[in-house]
């Protein structure tokens, strides 16, 4: 990363932060009875506000920093395939994460904005309007919630760990049986299991010590760009579910309070995955 870009990271952060807070006001103005919804797929609802928030953020950032690039859920979308990440400053935006929760008036929804420069995550901001919680991180400077520094729980014993698994992705036929098999093994080992239907909040809860581990396979860059940086800046650990290095553009991952805890989860899941594969082969 050039010295010039490094020195400007705080400028980028200070510019986008009030835009995200302003977008949160639009978020809260929505009335359920006037909500216009279109089906994007059987298990993914997109709203006019999703599009409006993303368009507003992109247009204002682009006006200030015209050389910056953008990857967003609405502008890039799954129908376009995996977006290409270049070395240019790139904002990765999810205007409303947890859209089904949003439509159903469940308050676990959030706005997620991450900045990547030369393929390095440098800024992560997540705003949860219904709870008025703002999670932020700049690479190398720690993670914060509403201006107060936060840290992961430091739990290393899997039996004492509160685990969050994104069960909503089980609706995808390719993952359904695998996820159920993993949960059969994991529920015997952990303190308890939760699922919030909102990846960005789940990552924030790992960063702030409310959860000890969160896992989801089959996400997109806009689901993970801000939250995974916040976890790492809070002292946590993020790794691909295969045990390989985390890849932001193909985010299948587990985020945990400690590396030791991640290794324990992945060891159990390896046994579960082998069991699942054997059953599939025997069919």
Q: Is 167 left (phi over 0), alpha (psi -120 to 50) or beta?
A: alpha
- Side-by-side strand order, sheet with 90-97: 69-72, 90-97, 110-117, 120-128, 133-138, 143-145, 148-150
Active-site residue, selected from the candidate residues 74, 97, 212, 269 = 97
| CA dist., res. 98 & res. 57, Å (int) | 18
Active site residue 138: no
Active-site residue, selected from the candidate residues 50, 73, 74, 269 = 73
CA distances from 247 to 225, 241, 250, 251 (A): 10, 10, 5, 6
H helices present in the chain, as ranges: 3-29, 48-64, 99-103, 173-186, 199-207, 221-233, 259-282
- For 146, what's the count of Cα atoms within 13 Å in the CB-facing half-sphere? 6
- The answer to whether 108 and 98 have CB atoms below 8 angstroms apart is yes
96 marked as binding residue: yes
Q: Tokens 């006001």, residue? A: 25
Active-site residue, selected from the candidate residues 166, 212, 223, 269 = 223
Token readout for 11 is: 């400028």
94 marked as binding residue: yes
Any bridge partners for residue 123, and if so which? 115, 138
42 marked as binding residue: no
Active-site residue, selected from the candidate residues 50, 74, 94, 217 = 94
**What length is written for the chain?**
283
50 marked as binding residue: no
Any bridge partners for residue 114, and if so which? 92, 124
Active-site residue, selected from the candidate residues 92, 93, 96, 179 = 96
Active-site residue, selected from the candidate residues 20, 54, 90, 99 = 99
223 marked as binding residue: yes
Active site residue 97: yes
| CA dist., res. 244 & res. 129, Å (int) | 34
Active site residue 73: yes
Which active-site residues does the annotation give?
73, 94, 96-97, 99, 223
Residue ranges of the annotated binding site are 73, 94, 96-97, 223
Residue ranges of the annotated binding site for Mg(2+) are 73, 94, 96-97, 223
């Amino acid at each position: 990363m050039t010295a010039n870009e490094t020195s400007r990271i705080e400028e980028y952060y200070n510019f986008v932060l009030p835009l995200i807070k302003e977008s949160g006001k639009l978020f809260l103005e929505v009335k359920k009875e006037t909500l216009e919804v279109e089906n994007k797929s059987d298990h993914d609802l997109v709203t006019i506000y999703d599009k409006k928030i993303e368009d507003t953020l992109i247009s204002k950032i682009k006006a200030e920093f015209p050389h910056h690039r953008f990857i967003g859920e609405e502008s890039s979308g799954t129908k376009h395939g995996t977006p290409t990440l270049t070395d240019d400053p790139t904002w990765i935006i999810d205007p409303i994460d947890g859209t089904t929760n949003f439509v159903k008036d469940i308050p676990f929804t959030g706005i997620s904005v991450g900045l990547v420069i030369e393929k390095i995550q440098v800024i992560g901001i997540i705003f949860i309007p219904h709870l008025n919680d703002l999670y932020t991180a700049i690479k190398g400077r720690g993670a914060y919630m509403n201006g107060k520094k936060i840290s992961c729980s430091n739990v290393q014993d899997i039996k004492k760990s509160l685990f969050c698994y994104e069960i909503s992705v089980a609706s995808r036929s390719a993952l359904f049986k695998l996820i159920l098999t993993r949960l059969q093994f994991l529920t015997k080992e952990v303190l308890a299991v939760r699922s919030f239907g909102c990846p960005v909040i789940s990552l924030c809860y790992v960063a702030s010590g409310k959860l000890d581990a969160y896992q989801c396979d089959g996400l997109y860059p806009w689901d993970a760009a801000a939250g995974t940086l916040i976890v790492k800046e809070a002292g946590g650990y993020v790794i691909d579910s295969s045990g390989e290095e985390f890849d932001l553009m193909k985010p299948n991952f587990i985020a945990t309070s400690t590396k030791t805890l991640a290794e324990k989860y992945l060891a159990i899941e390896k046994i579960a995955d082998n069991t699942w594969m054997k059953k599939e082969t025997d069919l």
